[in-house]
Structure 1
Amino acid sequence: MRALRLLLFVLLAALSAPSAAVLLAPSVASAQEAVAPDYKQWGKDADLAEQVLEADRASNQALEQLRDRIVDWRTRFTAAQTANQQRIETLRNQIAALGPAPEEGQSEAREIAARRSELNDQLNKLQAPGIAAEEARSRAEGIIKEIDTRIRERQADALLKLSPSPVNPVNWPAGAAVLTQGLKTLWNETVEAWENPARRTELRNNLPAIILYLVVAGFLVLRAPAFIERLTMRLRHSASMRSRDVAASILSLGQVLVPVLGVFLLVMAVRATGMTGLRSGELIRALPDAAAVLFVARWLGASVFAGGTSAPLVVDRPAEARFHSSMLGFAAAIEVMRVAFATDVRPPLSQAAQSVWEFPVVVLVAVFLFRLGHLIRRRDGAKGGEAGPLRDRIQPMFGTALVAASIISPLLGVVGYVAAANALIWPALGTLALVGLVIVLNRFLTDLYLIATRSGEEGREALVPVLIGTILSIAAIPALALIWGARTADLTEAWTRFREGIVLGGARISPTSFLTLVAVFVLGYLATRLLQSALKSSVLPRTKLEKGVQNAVAAGVGYVGIFLAGVVAVTAAGLDLSSLAIVAGALSVGIGFGLQNIVQNFVSGIILLIERPISEGDMIEVNGQFGIVKGISVRSTWIETFDRTDVIVPNGDLVSGVVTNLTRGNLTGRLILKVGVAYGTDTRRVETILREIAEAQPMVLVDPAPGVVFTGFGADSLDFEVRMILSDVNYKLAVQSEVNHEIARRFTEEGIEIPFAQRDLWIRNPEALWGEGKPKAAGVGTAATTVEKPMTDPRLIHNDPSDEDDGH
């Protein structure tokens, strides 16, 4: 019965899972009692709880009620621990202002000693309630833990209890007797009600309403679900609506709500007859729950296993998966009715009757769960060995777990561990329903995100949908814990521990303080960025500061603002991090060694922003990289080379290394061109031509005038250099190209030759190039060779145009 209640909770109430943590939170947190706890009454309650635990006769329900009362006392003590906290802090500050207490053998002024004693007495009196509350809270904590341990031990004993085997034919008559006796009871109740004239009169009077209820209920249960399903599919495949998926998802809820409403009308019709009794009344009351389980399972199967590659869960046979989902819902509905049928049976069912009565439904669920788990484990398009999305890796493992549960549960029941079989098969089914609900909710919220952002199907792989799925999965953890046997008290206890936070170095970090820290820091960060934006766009451009100074001021304001935001956030959260100073100092040494390059670049970036040896737009050369400075940050500088590639240079290299800044101060720069002419050329004429070419360039400055230098006699040419000062060094390559074109044209017109390197090839052993029986050249080993027949081997052909020029 408990497993079915949990299953109903998952199917009908898990929609509120995202707020489960809030619902589980104790409501007394916002209404703490200001008065001191009644320690006399607490002592009585604590003694009674310890006596109950020592006797070990109370039921689990009684222990839960006792635990709730002790938890209420613990909450009061927790609130009392912070009593007079502000006044205590004030007294401690006053005592600290008096200076350190004198050591043994030393004395201090009488007035100071008297004042110190007076303040210490006041401090002790104010601390007494908190100390008493802390002691009482420790006792309450111990009682709560002892109660939890006792209940868990009883649950474990019940889970491992060995019952008579349900497959043993000896035990079958006991189970058949339960069914026979129940049917007789229903028949007797019906006959007794029919023989009552008052009930027959009530039936005749309510007959029109009963007929109306039955007609409407029959339509809502038998016809409406199929109609809504067809309408949903038509709407989902419509191309005329952008929000069709969201509308179809909302409309599909009618497949659950409408037939359940029809079952409620059916129940009203049966009750209007006046022919129900105790046993039949239990069955009638269970009908809506059974209908809800059935139609929710059918709806989840249709939503999750929709078919196609865009389905929330891709399987090989989606139609078969939907069928097995519906059958699992049918089996769960049978369990709901079975539990209602066996309620208030007199005498209570024997262990043999319970085993025989429960085992068939377990087997029925296991059969359908086995096949559905097999379908989930295997899917179309699975690529072996290829790492896909996380859900594609989890899906086979989840299917395997369902298959394992469907195999182990019947085996446990056959042996006689029927309680363990129920504790495994029903939570496995509840987990399947919860996972399906999370998938459907994730799909629905993702569709809303796509509508809000006007994104296509590719938006499903964005960050926000992934975060939505993560949040839903975390929110489903409390429901999953309840399904697998956790008590509500366990969840409230976990939530209490979470709210209390953790202690790090004497500082307690709770969720409230953490959220305060994050909120204040985010506000401070946004305010800093807003101030930076105002400085960059409105204030600094109207000053006479250079661009680099403006960037330095804006960056400095940003770092100071972020530091202040962090300090204010820590202060607002009430965190005392002084106890972490020693740990932080030790860590800073290790971090300093590991991050020394980053710190060096950070400090270098500040130096660059202050001294401004380079600025944005400067043409520089550093570490062999030549380009334009596009940006200077605190850690590195961004340079764009002339081939349009970005080079990130650490600021440490710019401060400690050699940097050539070609445009610092002005844009003028020198261009040097080297030119070589052939030997025998008139050097004065070459000098005149080169000077005329340089002076004709519009980018070349007249003062100082360009110069031509005859630098020397090279191995192959007479070497000249043309030296020009350009008005804008950014056009250096363009001027160089234009001057080279002009030199080539003028030299061609003047008949001046630009030489190139030439080499003669001498064969030292020409006979080695001939095979045996070939004629050998005369004068082997000499510089020139003579052969007796023409050489046709292409390797011996020597075409050097210089042979004809120099006579070789």
Structure 2
Amino acid sequence: MLRQFLATLTAVLFLITASFAQAQEPAAPNYAAWEQLATQAEGIIQSAGASNARLEALRASVVDWRTKFQKAQGTNSTRIATLRDQIAALGPAPAEGATEAEDVAARRTALTEQLAELQAPALNAVEAYSRADAIVSLIDKTLRERQASELLRISPTPLNPANWNDAYTDGKKLLAGLGGEVQKRIDNAGTRAELRRNFLVIAVLVLIGMLLLGYGRRWVDRLPQRLSSRASEYARSALEFLVSLTQIIIPTLGVILLAVALEISGILGTWWQPILQLLPGAGLGFFIGRWLAVRMFPSDKLGDLTLDLPPARRTEARLHTTVLAALAAIHGIVSTAILPLGGFVRPETSADAVPMEFSEAAAAVLHFPLIVLGALVLFRLCQILRRASRDVKNQDQVYRLRIVTYVGAAGVVVSIVAPIAAAIGYINAANALLWPSIVSIGLVFILMVLQDFVGDLWGLIRRDSTGARDALVPVLIGFVLVLAALPLFALIWGARVEDLNELWTSARRGIALGDFRLSPTALLTFIFVFTVGYLLTRVLQGAFRTSILPKTKIDEGGQTAIVSGLGYLGIFLATLMGITSAGIDLSSLAIVAGALSVGIGFGLQNIVSNFVSGIILLVERPITVGDWIEVGARQGIVRRISVRSTRIETFDRTEVIVPNADLVSGQVVNYTRQNKQGRLIVPVGVAYGSDTKEVEAILRDIAEAEPTALINPPPSVLFRAFGPDSLNFEIRMILSDINQGISIHSRMNHEILKRFEAAGIDIPFTQRDIYIRNAREIGQPKPPARRPKARPDEAEATSAAPATEQQPRAAGDDKAPPPLSSGFEADDGDNDR
């Protein structure tokens, strides 16, 4: 019974699993319907008469079909893989003209036919996917061309006074429409009744909104400073940032409440609805800009500044940033609800804009003052940013200062080019250049503020704010934030969401490298598997280093070699597993290995030589960590042996990096490889006339009294030579720890000097006597210089000159003065002579 019950349960589970698998299997696309849509789409694109909205809708339909085809490419994938394995198990197909067994050939033919039948749906999906992808590319190309054409469209110049009358007329119509609609609704009895019925709700909403915009805004402006003053030092900056977000939330809620109150009142109709719908968004943008101005350029220095500008510069930059935020909010309402961009063509739905069409000349004139004002404020702000490298006191912000300087320089160029383009008539191009630049600068400010917040948060986690913003983790997170902001920059500068989706779709498809396709999914899989393997390797190394190896009899050098070998093996296995998990065929790496072998043969000989030498050092262990070695002219203690090089710490605490090839192929002296014993030689010189037997006895007594000297062999004293100044002796002994040789040598010298002074034995030293040859001539005055003898022509000229011009000659001038010279002779002597 139990066996029957288990069999029944297994059958039921099998049926449930099969049903679930069938439910998960994607349905086959309707290729007939797709063929009809594709033909229609290609005709619409070729006719070039469809509107942008029509093309966008068509593109969305084609993208849906492309997604279906992409899923259908995996149809029967499991069965196809099984059939391929079965065919491979039959062995390679016979060569042309060769034959194989009949049963094997029949089985191969049947499996091949089944494989072709199962591959047919996937091949159809691949073909349809390619066609859908081509249609999407054509639609995107058409939309981009239209967008570029609109941006480069030239409008009537706003500097022409003839266009001002059109602007005045259309502006008057706009004001009349807005004001007339309000008056008409107020005069309506139904509107007044509705207003009286909802008066209490409206009054409460208006009151709360005004309080949030007035008193609430001032209260939240002072709140960060109040709370941060009570927080601990490491939590102050992070807490102040979080609290400062209320400077955005509270006023924005006030604007929303006011907009809701106006909506409930019913006094705003069709003309006001587009403006009313955009009001909360514009308010949010303005308060974000105002918050950025306070965060970037605060009036009071509560902590580390994002840009450490002087107070006067911060005040000016804060004002300009706030004004730009207000202008950007106004531009957002004007360009969307009143004077939309894109050739000033009215959107299809009347809810998106006021029910009035401005002439192109009037729109150009009305846009121009806003462009000029925004450019002037942007110019002044960017001037401050461009000079930040000279004004900032904290020169540790080198990279940030460089970015700010580049942003300021680009903003100055934009603030000059945009008004000029608008004055010529390129209103769309000027708007598309100026306002995205302002928003982009705001996004750069947001990234800087967020990077500082991440650093402050890291300091809060570590409970130490010192250097937290420059730590590795905040820097890496800041880099990720910059990468995440790249799509936002693209959207700011006119990219469509569909363009980003298309870019992501292309990235997901990856790059074909032979039979393998490198995609973000494969790359992330490799990174994840490799990281896990690397962390496991480090954990295993730590366990061996701290728990397992210290309990064995392996010396320190052997333990280090084992731990290093585990690390290299773990990294190799983690890399291998990551490559395999990513779907890369290892056999395809043979070409890469061949190319690397050529590169190794030509340019990486030294690196490979050091690598192989490092492995030899870790396996044979001629030197280990802690050994005292001598390589060339360098001596020191081995601190670390890696694959490429070995680090030696000299006795003056400097580190020397020695390539492993030098340690394997060169001559190396290892003073402490087998043991720490070593011989110490202490030379001693005594004066001539000393009792040599007494000297020998004293030196032997001192050597035998040294505790670190070995008894076998015992210390010895040798009478080495008759020197030019002294009788030379040597103490020779074997120390149990040669690392203490220098200190023992010094201690023995002290003892030798003390014992020799007690015994009356002199230690000679060299003396030198200096003789001066011409000591009497050094103190005499120098005689006058002798005039040179005149040539014959000069003598005649002198004799012909008047007597008054001839100078008398002193007697004895024709005699040369004795030369003045001095010399030194050095004579060496000894104190015992």
Name the TM tier (shorter chain): 0.7 to 0.9
1:663-704 CA-partner distances (Å, limit 9, x unpaired): 444444333344455556665565555445544544444443
1:487-508 CA-partner distances (Å, limit 9, x unpaired): 1111111111222222334322
Partner of 1:358: 367
The answer to whether the aligner puts 1:96 opposite 2:88 as a matched pair is yes
Are the equivalent residues in 2 in contact too, given 1:536–1:554 (CA < 8 A)? yes
Aligned residues: 757
Q: Residues 751 and 48 from structure 1, CA distance in 2 versus in 1: closer, same or farther, beyond 3 angstroms?
A: same
The answer to whether the aligner puts 1:321 opposite 2:312 as a matched pair is no
The answer to whether the aligner puts 1:603 opposite 2:612 as a matched pair is yes
Greater CA deviation, 508-517 or 685-694? 685-694
Partner of 1:12: none
Greater CA deviation, 401-410 or 310-319? 310-319
Are the equivalent residues in 2 in contact too, given 1:307–1:314 (CA < 8 A)? no
Distance 1:232 1:291 in 2: 22
Matches within 5 A, 1:193-592: 193-235=185-227, 243-307=235-299, 310-315=304-309, 316-338=312-334, 339-341=336-338, 348-379=357-388, 381-382=390-391, 389-456=398-465, 458-591=467-600
Are the equivalent residues in 1 in contact too, given 2:289–2:321 (CA < 8 A)? yes
Greater CA deviation, 234-243 or 482-491? 234-243
Are the equivalent residues in 1 in contact too, given 2:337–2:354 (CA < 8 A)? no
Q: Residues 387 and 555 from structure 1, CA distance in 2 versus in 1: closer, same or farther, beyond 3 angstroms?
A: closer
Question: Normalising by the residue count of structure 2, what TM-score does the alignment of the two structures yield?
Answer: 0.81
Are the equivalent residues in 1 in contact too, given 2:628–2:671 (CA < 8 A)? yes
Distance 2:737 2:564 in 1: 31
Equivalent residue letter for 1:59: S
Q: Residues 268 and 679 from structure 1, CA distance in 2 versus in 1: closer, same or farther, beyond 3 angstroms?
A: closer
> Any gaps of 5 or more consecutive residues in structure 1?
1-30, 775-791
Q: 176, 180, 185: which one pairs with 2:177?
A: 185
Matches within 5 A, 1:701-720: 701-720=710-729
C-alpha RMSD over aligned residues: 3.7
Q: 109, 114, 135: which one pairs with 2:106?
A: 114
Shift of 1:290: 3.6
- Is the partner of 1:460 in helix, strand or coil? coil
Are the equivalent residues in 1 in contact too, given 2:767–2:831 (CA < 8 A)? no
Are the equivalent residues in 2 in contact too, given 1:314–1:380 (CA < 8 A)? no
Are the equivalent residues in 2 in contact too, given 1:78–1:134 (CA < 8 A)? yes
Greater CA deviation, 389-398 or 718-727? 718-727
Distance 2:378 2:747 in 1: 83
Equivalent residue letter for 2:283: A
Q: 143, 155, 163: which one pairs with 1:163?
A: 155
Are the equivalent residues in 2 in contact too, given 1:620–1:659 (CA < 8 A)? yes
1:404-450 CA-partner distances (Å, limit 9, x unpaired): 22222222222222221222222122223322333333333333222
Are the equivalent residues in 2 in contact too, given 1:548–1:615 (CA < 8 A)? yes
Q: Residues 663 and 132 from structure 1, CA distance in 2 versus in 1: closer, same or farther, beyond 3 angstroms?
A: same
Partner of 1:76: 68
Distance 2:64 2:55 in 1: 14
The answer to whether the aligner puts 1:137 opposite 2:140 as a matched pair is no
Q: Residues 692 and 271 from structure 1, CA distance in 2 versus in 1: closer, same or farther, beyond 3 angstroms?
A: closer
Shift of 1:165: 1.9
Greater CA deviation, 441-450 or 753-762? 753-762
Question: Normalising by the residue count of structure 1, what TM-score does the alignment of the two structures yield?
Answer: 0.84
Distance 2:829 2:208 in 1: 111
Are the equivalent residues in 2 in contact too, given 1:33–1:79 (CA < 8 A)? no
Partner of 1:777: none
Are the equivalent residues in 2 in contact too, given 1:218–1:262 (CA < 8 A)? yes
Shift of 1:59: 0.6
The answer to whether the aligner puts 1:176 opposite 2:185 as a matched pair is no
Equivalent residue letter for 2:306: P
1:441-485 CA-partner distances (Å, limit 9, x unpaired): 333333322222223353222233333332222222111111111
Are the equivalent residues in 2 in contact too, given 1:302–1:322 (CA < 8 A)? yes
Of structures 1 and 2, the one with the larger relative CO (CA 8 A, separation 6+) is: 1
Distance 2:549 2:826 in 1: 74
- Is the partner of 1:503 in helix, strand or coil? strand
Shift of 1:767: 12
Distance 1:656 1:151 in 2: 68
Shift of 1:748: 5.1
Q: Residues 87 and 768 from structure 1, CA distance in 2 versus in 1: closer, same or farther, beyond 3 angstroms?
A: farther
Distance 2:466 2:761 in 1: 71
The answer to whether the aligner puts 1:124 opposite 2:108 as a matched pair is no
Equivalent residue letter for 1:98: L
Are the equivalent residues in 1 in contact too, given 2:647–2:657 (CA < 8 A)? yes
1:754-805 CA-partner distances (Å, limit 9, x unpaired): 555677889999999999999xxxxxxxxxxxxxxxxx99966877656994
Are the equivalent residues in 1 in contact too, given 2:718–2:729 (CA < 8 A)? yes
Partner of 1:146: 138
Q: Residues 541 and 427 from structure 1, CA distance in 2 versus in 1: closer, same or farther, beyond 3 angstroms?
A: closer
